[in-house]
């Protein structure tokens, strides 16, 4: 192949040499190209009109981030070009970074929530693994001799290595790209991460993981001069979580979409156009859940479905769909958390009172997720970022005077209308 280039607002030019032919072929496959039709931030454009970038641009960015992180390997004699299997592992890592999101469904996390409510337990990570194993991607990876290495990154019980840390860790290529990319397209001026300084501060050293058995493993650690930029990374992540990823308006839209589609599925009374929609077929019929049908779905399927529902004969669903189209969204009450998390007993009393008054509501809070080990709102997140201190490795929450604890996200309870919210506020004030 001749050299190729892609212009990117975050990484400038992303280049492909003849040695990257397999990578370039992967980009042309249907599963990767489909990501052009899946937004990276879902419904965040309801708050930030510029946030219409796609998962396709993100996976290209994550791929480029992985290249830059691998360069940190090659600055050391511990792991790098002199290692006999480094070239294959390097190519596999870059390919895995490119492919890590191919299993996302339409509007990503909204689709996953719909699947959960319909009893479909297969996650987007599992879809990613299946797609890599059963599509054009499979042949390309096998021809390049990296199929087994790439699939190992997506197995549930994968062995931790510095290569796997690039794909899935507290400081991985995925997080680094989406934080920079999402900030850019949302138009935010804060949450800046100095990538040049960060990459220059990354080291690979053996870290003691089991003192009793004397077990060590290679891991990313951060040079002391990089402490400030890692602090910036965590603070940036927190700000993006509060200002973008868990924004109350974005979450309101997500809840509305789930509610309106669930209403249609439960009622079973809809037009032919609704019944034919690939989202409805997938959620209802197990025979419609193969890889080919999964890859046929994108964000446009949900938008088309909402338009059809807005003119349907189901009054509740039609009303909610029309409100979505007019940006008349659900309202919420925020219940601030303490240092130990949400005040669970108070929330339970509130929800019980809402049930007694028959006020419709939806509880919303950050749930624990296994794919990234810990979310940024979890105090254990900081324990997995190590700072070099002499001959030892100190965890970030101990090394940083700025970051001593991670504030937990407030719980929210959503209501369909402003009147319902007003009634709920009176109940809450009486508790």
The answer to whether residues 204 and 154 belong to one domain is yes
Least confident of 54-58, 391-395, 414-418: 391-395
Co-location of 240 and 317 in the same domain: no
Report how far residue 375's alpha carbon sits from residue 377's, in angstroms, rounded to the nearest whole number.
Answer: 5
- Predicted pLDDT at 372: 43
Q: Tell me, yes or no, whether 367 lies in a domain.
A: no
Domain presence at residue 178: yes
* Closest-CA residue to 298 (of 102, 50, 148): 102
Q: 246, 265, 285 — which closes off a domain?
A: 246
Region of 397 (left: φ > 0; alpha: ψ -120 to 50; beta: rest) is alpha
- Please report whether residue 180 resides in a domain: yes
pLDDT at 384 over 80: no
pLDDT digits (tens, 9 = 90+) for 319-352: 999 999 999 999 999 887 766 666 888 889 999 9
Residue 372, in any domain of the structure:
no
Structural domain contains residue 339: no
68 in any annotated domain: yes
Residue 168 lies in a domain: yes
pLDDT at residue 247, as a whole number = 93
| pTM attached to this predicted model | 0.90
Q: What is the CATH number of the domain that holds 267?
A: 1.20.1250.30
Does residue 205 register a pLDDT over 60?
Answer: yes
Residues 191 and 253 in one domain: no
Domain end point (choices 328, 356, 386) = 328
pLDDT of residue 2: 93
Structural domains of the chain, count: 2
Same domain, 156 and 264: no
* pLDDT at residue 366 tops 70: no
Judgement on whether residues 148 and 194 belong to the same structural domain of the protein: yes
Question: Given a cut of 70, is residue 407 above it in pLDDT?
Answer: no
What CATH number is attached to the domain comprising 91? 1.10.3210.10
Asked if residue 160 and residue 13 are part of one domain, the reply reads yes
188 and 264 inside one domain? no
> Are residue 175 and residue 203 in the same domain, yes or no?
yes
If phi over 0 gives left and psi between -120 and 50 gives alpha, with beta otherwise, what is residue 188?
A: beta
Domain assignment of residue 348, yes or no: no
45-88 confidence digits (pLDDT tens) = 999 999 999 999 999 999 999 999 998 778 776 666 667 788 99
The rounded percent of the chain whose pLDDT value lies above 70 is 88
Instruction: Please check the confidence at residue 381 and state whether its pLDDT lies above 80.
Output: no
Same structural domain, 156 and 228 = yes
**Domain match, 136 and 20 both:** yes
Domain boundary among the residues 246, 266, 295 is at 246
Residues of the chain with pLDDT > 90, as a percent, come to 60
Which domain does 274 fall in, by range? 248-328
pLDDT in tens, 274-295: 999 999 999 999 888 999 999 9
Residues 62 and 186 in one domain: yes
Q: What are phi and psi of 395, to 5 degrees?
A: -75, 145
Dist CA 245 CA 42 (whole Å): 10
Do 385 and 170 meet the contact criterion of CB atoms below 8 Å apart?
yes
Same domain? For 124 and 228 the reply is yes
Among residues 348, 336, 345, 367, the alpha carbon closest in space to that of 112 is found at 367
In this prediction, residue 158 has a pLDDT band, given cuts at 50, 70 and 90, of low
Q: How far apart are CA 363 and CA 335, in angstroms?
A: 11
- The rounded distance, in Å, linking the Cα atoms of 149 and 293 is 27
- pLDDT of 138 > 60? The answer is yes
393 vs 297 pLDDT, higher one: 297
């Amino acid at each position: 192949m001749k050299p190729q280039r892609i212009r990117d607002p975050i990484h400038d030019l992303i280049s492909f040499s003849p040695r990257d032919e397999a990578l370039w072929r992967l980009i042309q496959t249907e599963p990767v190209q489909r990501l052009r039709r899946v937004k990276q931030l879902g419904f965040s454009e309801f708050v930030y009109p510029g946030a219409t970038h796609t998962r396709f641009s993100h996976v290209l960015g994550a791929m480029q981030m992985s290249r830059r992180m691998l360069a940190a390997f090659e600055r050391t004699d511990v792991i790098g070009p002199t290692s006999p299997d480094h070239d294959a592992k390097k190519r596999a890592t870059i390919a895995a970074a490119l492919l890590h999101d191919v299993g996302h469904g339409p509007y990503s996390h909204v689709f996953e929530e719909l699947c959960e409510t319909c009893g479909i337990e297969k996650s987007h990570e599992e879809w990613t693994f299946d797609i890599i194993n059963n599509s054009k991607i499979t042949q390309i990876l096998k021809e390049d001799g990296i199929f087994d290495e790439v699939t190992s990154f997506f197995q549930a019980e994968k062995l931790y290595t510095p290569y796997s840390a690039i794909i899935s860790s507290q400081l991985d290529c995925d997080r680094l790209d989406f934080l920079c990319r999402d900030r850019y397209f949302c138009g935010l001026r804060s949450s800046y991460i100095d990538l040049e300084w960060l990459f220059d501060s990354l080291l690979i050293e053996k870290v003691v993981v089991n003192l009793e058995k004397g077990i060590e493993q290679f891991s990313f650690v951060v040079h002391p001069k990089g402490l400030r930029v890692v602090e910036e990374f965590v603070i940036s992540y927190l700000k993006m979580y509060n200002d973008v990823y868990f924004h109350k308006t974005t979450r309101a839209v997500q809840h509305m979409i789930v509610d309106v589609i669930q209403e249609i599925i439960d009622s079973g009374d809809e037009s032919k156009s609704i019944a034919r929609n690939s989202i409805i077929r997938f959620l209802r019929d197990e025979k419609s859940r193969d890889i080919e049908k999964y890859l046929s779905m994108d964000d446009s399927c949900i938008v088309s479905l909402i338009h059809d529902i807005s003119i349907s004969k189901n009054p509740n669903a039609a009303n909610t769909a029309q409100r979505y189209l007019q940006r008349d969204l659900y309202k919420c009450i925020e219940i601030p958390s303490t240092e130990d998390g949400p005040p669970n007993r108070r929330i339970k009393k509130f929800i019980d009172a809402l049930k007694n008054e028959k006020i419709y509501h939806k509880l919303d809070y950050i749930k624990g997720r296994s794919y990234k080990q810990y979310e940024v709102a979890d105090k254990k997140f900081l324990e997995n970022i190590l700072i070099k201190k002499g001959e030892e490795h100190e965890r970030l929450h101990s090394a940083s005077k700025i970051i001593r604890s991670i504030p937990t996200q407030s719980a929210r309870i959503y209501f369909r209308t402003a009147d319902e919210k007003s009634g709920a506020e009176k109940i809450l004030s009486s508790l």
